[in-house]
Protein backbone atom coordinates (compact mmCIF):
# COMPACT_ATOMS: atom_id res chain seq x y z
CA UNK A 1 0.00 0.00 0.00
CA UNK A 2 1.30 3.44 -0.98
CA UNK A 3 1.18 5.89 1.92
CA UNK A 4 3.97 8.31 1.01
CA UNK A 5 2.39 11.63 -0.15
CA UNK A 6 5.11 12.18 -2.76
CA UNK A 7 4.58 8.79 -4.36
CA UNK A 8 0.78 9.19 -4.27
CA UNK A 9 1.11 12.57 -5.97
CA UNK A 10 3.34 11.02 -8.66
CA UNK A 11 0.88 8.19 -9.24
CA UNK A 12 -2.45 10.04 -9.10
CA UNK A 13 -1.72 13.70 -9.90
CA UNK A 14 1.90 14.20 -11.03
CA UNK A 15 1.90 17.98 -10.52
CA UNK A 16 4.50 20.02 -8.68
CA UNK A 17 3.22 21.87 -5.65
CA UNK A 18 0.24 19.54 -5.18
CA UNK A 19 -0.13 17.41 -2.05
CA UNK A 20 -2.25 14.24 -1.95
CA UNK A 21 -4.06 14.13 1.39
CA UNK A 22 -5.57 10.67 1.01
CA UNK A 23 -7.81 8.39 -0.99
CA UNK A 24 -11.43 7.64 -0.14
CA UNK A 25 -11.97 4.17 -1.59
CA UNK A 26 -15.38 3.68 0.06
CA UNK A 27 -17.16 6.16 -2.21
CA UNK A 28 -19.06 4.96 -5.29
CA UNK A 29 -16.29 6.51 -7.36
CA UNK A 30 -12.91 6.55 -5.55
CA UNK A 31 -11.96 10.08 -4.53
CA UNK A 32 -8.40 11.39 -4.40
CA UNK A 33 -8.22 14.37 -2.01
CA UNK A 34 -5.60 17.00 -2.83
CA UNK A 35 -4.55 20.50 -1.89
CA UNK A 36 -1.97 23.01 -3.06
CA UNK A 37 1.11 23.41 -0.92
CA UNK A 38 0.89 26.49 1.29
CA UNK A 39 2.21 29.64 -0.34
CA UNK A 40 1.89 33.30 0.55
CA UNK A 41 -0.85 34.80 -1.63
CA UNK A 42 -1.49 38.42 -2.42
CA UNK A 43 -4.75 40.09 -3.34
CA UNK A 44 -5.11 40.11 -7.16
CA UNK A 45 -6.58 43.62 -6.98
CA UNK A 46 -4.45 45.55 -4.47
CA UNK A 47 -1.53 43.18 -3.81
CA UNK A 48 -1.91 43.13 -0.03
CA UNK A 49 -0.96 39.80 1.57
CA UNK A 50 -4.14 37.77 1.99
CA UNK A 51 -5.30 35.59 4.87
CA UNK A 52 -6.75 32.09 4.54
CA UNK A 53 -10.39 32.22 5.58
CA UNK A 54 -11.18 28.54 5.10
CA UNK A 55 -11.30 25.69 2.59
CA UNK A 56 -13.94 24.63 0.11
CA UNK A 57 -13.81 21.06 -1.28
CA UNK A 58 -14.50 20.96 -5.02
CA UNK A 59 -15.20 17.58 -6.60
CA UNK A 60 -13.78 17.08 -10.11
CA UNK A 61 -14.20 14.15 -12.48
CA UNK A 62 -10.80 12.81 -13.54
CA UNK A 63 -9.60 10.30 -16.12
CA UNK A 64 -10.21 6.64 -15.37
CA UNK A 65 -7.25 4.77 -13.94
CA UNK A 66 -6.64 1.03 -14.26
CA UNK A 67 -10.20 0.59 -15.50
CA UNK A 68 -11.73 2.43 -12.52
CA UNK A 69 -13.49 5.78 -12.58
CA UNK A 70 -11.70 8.40 -10.46
CA UNK A 71 -12.79 11.71 -8.90
CA UNK A 72 -10.44 14.41 -7.64
CA UNK A 73 -11.49 16.42 -4.57
CA UNK A 74 -9.58 19.69 -4.51
CA UNK A 75 -9.62 21.36 -1.10
CA UNK A 76 -9.42 24.96 -2.30
CA UNK A 77 -8.26 27.67 0.03
CA UNK A 78 -10.52 30.70 0.33
CA UNK A 79 -8.69 33.99 0.88
CA UNK A 80 -9.77 37.30 2.35
CA UNK A 81 -8.12 40.63 1.60
CA UNK A 82 -6.93 42.47 4.71
CA UNK A 83 -7.25 45.88 3.08
CA UNK A 84 -10.60 47.28 4.35
CA UNK A 85 -11.06 49.52 1.28
CA UNK A 86 -10.30 46.84 -1.32
CA UNK A 87 -13.22 45.79 -3.52
CA UNK A 88 -12.04 42.20 -3.93
CA UNK A 89 -12.90 41.04 -0.38
CA UNK A 90 -12.70 37.21 -0.88
CA UNK A 91 -11.71 34.72 -3.59
CA UNK A 92 -10.65 31.09 -3.99
CA UNK A 93 -7.36 29.85 -5.35
CA UNK A 94 -7.07 28.92 -9.02
CA UNK A 95 -4.67 26.51 -10.72
CA UNK A 96 -5.35 25.77 -14.38
CA UNK A 97 -3.09 22.72 -14.23
CA UNK A 98 -5.68 21.06 -12.02
CA UNK A 99 -8.89 22.42 -13.52
CA UNK A 100 -10.30 25.46 -15.27
CA UNK A 101 -12.69 27.65 -13.24
CA UNK A 102 -16.37 26.68 -13.30
CA UNK A 103 -15.72 23.29 -14.92
CA UNK A 104 -16.39 19.96 -13.20
CA UNK A 105 -13.65 18.04 -15.08
CA UNK A 106 -9.95 18.12 -14.34
CA UNK A 107 -7.78 19.79 -16.96
CA UNK A 108 -6.49 16.49 -18.34
CA UNK A 109 -9.98 14.98 -18.39
CA UNK A 110 -11.37 18.06 -20.14
CA UNK A 111 -8.69 17.97 -22.83
CA UNK A 112 -9.18 14.23 -23.33
CA UNK A 113 -12.96 14.62 -23.62
CA UNK A 114 -12.56 17.45 -26.15
CA UNK A 115 -10.29 15.25 -28.29
CA UNK A 116 -12.68 12.32 -28.09
CA UNK A 117 -15.70 14.40 -29.14
CA UNK A 118 -13.98 16.76 -31.59
CA UNK A 119 -11.34 14.62 -33.28
CA UNK A 120 -12.71 11.10 -32.79
CA UNK A 121 -16.36 12.04 -33.33
CA UNK A 122 -17.63 10.20 -30.25
CA UNK A 123 -21.04 11.18 -28.80
CA UNK A 124 -20.89 13.27 -25.64
CA UNK A 125 -23.09 10.75 -23.82
CA UNK A 126 -20.58 7.92 -24.49
CA UNK A 127 -17.67 9.97 -23.13
CA UNK A 128 -19.75 10.96 -20.09
CA UNK A 129 -20.58 7.33 -19.37
CA UNK A 130 -16.92 6.34 -19.58
CA UNK A 131 -15.91 9.09 -17.16
CA UNK A 132 -18.84 8.46 -14.82
CA UNK A 133 -20.53 11.88 -15.04
CA UNK A 134 -23.51 13.51 -16.72
CA UNK A 135 -23.83 14.84 -20.27
CA UNK A 136 -23.63 18.52 -19.27
CA UNK A 137 -20.35 18.06 -17.40
CA UNK A 138 -18.61 16.77 -20.53
CA UNK A 139 -20.35 19.14 -22.93
CA UNK A 140 -19.41 22.21 -20.86
CA UNK A 141 -15.76 21.15 -20.93
CA UNK A 142 -15.83 20.41 -24.67
CA UNK A 143 -17.32 23.85 -25.38
CA UNK A 144 -14.74 25.61 -23.18
CA UNK A 145 -11.67 23.83 -24.54
CA UNK A 146 -13.04 23.63 -28.09
CA UNK A 147 -13.83 27.34 -28.28
CA UNK A 148 -10.23 28.15 -27.36
CA UNK A 149 -9.02 25.94 -30.21
CA UNK A 150 -11.47 27.36 -32.75
CA UNK A 151 -10.70 30.96 -31.77
CA UNK A 152 -6.95 30.46 -32.22
CA UNK A 153 -5.90 32.89 -34.99
CA UNK A 154 -3.34 30.50 -36.50
CA UNK A 155 -5.45 27.35 -36.50
CA UNK A 156 -5.83 27.21 -40.30
CA UNK A 157 -3.31 29.70 -41.70
CA UNK A 158 -3.63 31.21 -45.17
CA UNK A 159 -6.45 30.16 -47.50
CA UNK A 160 -6.35 30.40 -51.29
CA UNK A 161 -9.74 28.91 -52.21
CA UNK A 162 -12.76 29.76 -50.05
CA UNK A 163 -16.19 28.17 -50.22
CA UNK A 164 -19.55 29.22 -48.74
CA UNK A 165 -22.57 26.94 -48.43
CA UNK A 166 -25.78 26.76 -46.41
CA UNK A 167 -26.56 23.90 -44.05
CA UNK A 168 -29.77 22.98 -42.23
CA UNK A 169 -28.60 22.86 -38.63
CA UNK A 170 -31.76 22.05 -36.66
CA UNK A 171 -35.55 22.18 -36.72
CA UNK A 172 -37.17 23.88 -33.72
CA UNK A 173 -40.64 24.58 -32.39
CA UNK A 174 -43.98 22.90 -32.88
CA UNK A 175 -43.87 23.65 -36.59
CA UNK A 176 -40.31 22.33 -36.96
CA UNK A 177 -38.96 25.68 -38.13
CA UNK A 178 -35.77 25.35 -40.14
CA UNK A 179 -32.64 26.99 -38.72
CA UNK A 180 -29.82 27.37 -41.22
CA UNK A 181 -26.12 28.13 -40.80
CA UNK A 182 -23.41 29.04 -43.29
CA UNK A 183 -20.30 26.88 -43.48
CA UNK A 184 -17.01 28.51 -44.46
CA UNK A 185 -14.60 26.01 -46.03
CA UNK A 186 -11.05 25.89 -47.34
CA UNK A 187 -11.90 24.21 -50.67
CA UNK A 188 -8.33 23.34 -51.58
CA UNK A 189 -7.60 21.48 -48.34
CA UNK A 190 -11.17 20.34 -47.67
CA UNK A 191 -11.09 21.91 -44.18
CA UNK A 192 -14.03 23.43 -42.33
CA UNK A 193 -12.92 26.86 -41.13
CA UNK A 194 -16.01 28.03 -39.25
CA UNK A 195 -19.80 27.90 -38.98
CA UNK A 196 -21.72 31.19 -38.73
CA UNK A 197 -25.44 31.82 -38.06
CA UNK A 198 -28.14 32.04 -40.75
CA UNK A 199 -27.74 31.85 -44.50
CA UNK A 200 -27.61 35.58 -45.11
CA UNK A 201 -24.50 37.45 -46.16
CA UNK A 202 -24.16 39.44 -42.94
CA UNK A 203 -22.31 36.85 -40.84
CA UNK A 204 -19.88 35.69 -43.60
CA UNK A 205 -19.00 39.31 -44.38
CA UNK A 206 -18.28 40.03 -40.71
CA UNK A 207 -16.21 36.84 -40.47
CA UNK A 208 -14.08 37.74 -43.48
CA UNK A 209 -13.59 41.34 -42.37
CA UNK A 210 -12.46 39.99 -39.01
CA UNK A 211 -9.61 38.12 -40.71
CA UNK A 212 -8.11 41.40 -41.91
CA UNK A 213 -7.20 42.75 -45.38
CA UNK A 214 -3.90 40.85 -45.61
CA UNK A 215 -5.57 37.47 -45.07
CA UNK A 216 -8.42 38.30 -47.46
CA UNK A 217 -5.94 39.36 -50.15
CA UNK A 218 -4.57 35.81 -50.18
CA UNK A 219 -7.93 34.34 -51.24
CA UNK A 220 -7.71 34.03 -55.02
CA UNK A 221 -10.79 31.87 -55.73
CA UNK A 222 -14.26 31.38 -54.29
CA UNK A 223 -16.86 28.63 -54.66
CA UNK A 224 -20.61 29.06 -54.10
CA UNK A 225 -23.84 27.26 -54.94
CA UNK A 226 -25.31 29.82 -57.40
CA UNK A 227 -26.58 31.85 -54.43
CA UNK A 228 -26.94 35.57 -55.09
CA UNK A 229 -26.57 36.16 -51.35
CA UNK A 230 -23.17 34.47 -51.19
CA UNK A 231 -22.13 36.16 -54.44
CA UNK A 232 -22.72 39.50 -52.73
CA UNK A 233 -20.27 38.45 -49.99
CA UNK A 234 -17.49 38.01 -52.54
CA UNK A 235 -18.49 41.15 -54.44
CA UNK A 236 -18.18 43.26 -51.29
CA UNK A 237 -15.26 41.70 -49.40
CA UNK A 238 -13.35 39.53 -51.93
CA UNK A 239 -13.98 41.31 -55.22
CA UNK A 240 -10.52 40.33 -56.50
CA UNK A 241 -11.22 36.58 -56.18
CA UNK A 242 -12.29 34.46 -59.16
CA UNK A 243 -15.80 33.23 -58.39
CA UNK A 244 -16.95 29.80 -59.59
CA UNK A 245 -20.03 27.64 -59.03
CA UNK A 246 -19.52 24.15 -57.69
CA UNK A 247 -20.19 21.35 -60.24
CA UNK A 248 -23.00 19.77 -58.22
CA UNK A 249 -25.31 22.78 -58.47
CA UNK A 250 -24.41 23.50 -62.08
CA UNK A 251 -25.37 19.96 -63.11
CA UNK A 252 -28.47 20.11 -60.91
CA UNK A 253 -29.72 23.25 -62.70
CA UNK A 254 -29.02 21.66 -66.07
CA UNK A 255 -30.95 18.50 -65.18
CA UNK A 256 -33.89 20.50 -63.85
CA UNK A 257 -34.04 22.46 -67.11
CA UNK A 258 -34.04 19.25 -69.15
CA UNK A 259 -36.77 17.76 -66.95
CA UNK A 260 -38.94 20.87 -67.25
CA UNK A 261 -42.59 19.83 -67.72
CA UNK A 262 -44.37 22.88 -69.13
CA UNK A 263 -46.60 23.51 -72.10
CA UNK A 264 -45.40 22.83 -75.64
CA UNK A 265 -45.24 26.52 -76.48
CA UNK A 266 -43.08 27.39 -73.41
CA UNK A 267 -39.53 28.46 -74.44
CA UNK A 268 -37.76 25.84 -72.18
CA UNK A 269 -39.97 23.07 -73.60
CA UNK A 270 -39.30 24.12 -77.19
CA UNK A 271 -35.56 24.22 -76.44
CA UNK A 272 -35.61 20.66 -75.08
CA UNK A 273 -37.62 19.50 -78.11
CA UNK A 274 -35.07 21.08 -80.42
CA UNK A 275 -32.22 19.26 -78.68
CA UNK A 276 -34.01 15.96 -79.01
The confidence score (pLDDT) of residue 271 equals 44
Annotated domain spans of the chain: 1-98, 103-152, 161-245
Determine contact, residues 54/79, Cβ cutoff 8 Å.
no
For domain 161-245, which architecture applies? 2-Layer Sandwich (3.30)
DSSP track, 42-60: B-TTT-PBPEEEEEEEEEE
Q: What percent of the chain has pLDDT over 90?
A: 47
The confidence score (pLDDT) of residue 274 equals 43
Q: 138-196: per-residue pLDDT in tens?
A: 999 999 998 877 767 677 788 999 999 999 988 988 888 899 999 999 998 888 888 99
Closest CA to 91 of 48, 61, 60: 48
The confidence score (pLDDT) of residue 261 equals 58
Q: 45-84: per-residue pLDDT in tens?
A: 888 888 898 899 999 999 988 778 889 999 999 999 988 8
Residue 206, class by beta-carbon neighbours within 10 Å (0-12 exposed, 13-18 middle, 19+ buried)? exposed
Closest CA to 59 of 99, 5, 90: 99
Amino acid sequence: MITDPTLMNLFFVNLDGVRVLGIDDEATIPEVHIELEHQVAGCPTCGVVARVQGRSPVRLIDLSMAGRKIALVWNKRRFICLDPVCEKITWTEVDHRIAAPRLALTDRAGRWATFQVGAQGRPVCDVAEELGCDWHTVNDAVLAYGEALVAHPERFGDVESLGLDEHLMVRTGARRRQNFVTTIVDVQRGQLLDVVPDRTGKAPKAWLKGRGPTWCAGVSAGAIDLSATYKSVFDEVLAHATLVADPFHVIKVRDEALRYRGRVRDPPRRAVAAVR
